[in-house]
Amino acid sequence: MEKARTEVLREMLAANPDDTFARYALALELAKSDQPGGVWEHFDYLLKNHPQYSATYYQAGVFLLNQGRREEARQIFTRGVEVTRSQGSHHAQSELERALEELAADP
């Protein structure tokens, strides 16, 4: 029987706790499960320890929105815009700006 993705990702993190991809992928897998416990801990780790890992900002903001944490989501999206702007990542920057606009338009 094949191992579940979450199990494989947890094993990868056990072997290398600072593996940004494994941590990010595990957060995404957990977020779409019916038991999203631990998601924020992974996003928070990435935001604090790897602030230049720009993919985190959009997904962390969406997760916070889904948890009803709108102001925190706005802050994360805003920081993400700053990071992606400094990296010259125009596509990611525009996605984050669009998320901010949608957030502002939906009180």
Each of the 107 residues of the chain gets a pLDDT tens digit; together they read 567 999 999 999 999 999 999 999 999 999 988 777 889 999 999 999 999 999 999 999 999 999 999 999 999 999 999 999 999 999 999 999 999 999 999 86
Q: What is the pLDDT of residue 37?
A: 83
The structure's pTM equals 0.91
Do 67 and 89 meet the contact criterion of CB atoms below 8 Å apart? no
Q: What CATH class has 5-105?
A: mainly alpha
Q: What is the pLDDT of residue 33?
A: 84
Question: Helix 70-87 vs helix 90-105: angle between axes, to the nearest 10 degrees?
Answer: 160
**Tokens of residue 89, six digits:** 């990542």
Q: What is the pLDDT of residue 2?
A: 61
Q: What is the pLDDT of residue 88?
A: 96
Average pLDDT score, the chain: 94
Question: Helix 90-105 vs helix 55-66: angle between axes, to the nearest 10 degrees?
Answer: 20
Q: What are the sequence ranges of the domains in the chain? A: 5-105
Neighbour-count burial for 10-28, b at 16+ CB within 10 Å, e otherwise = bebbeeeeeebebbbbbbb
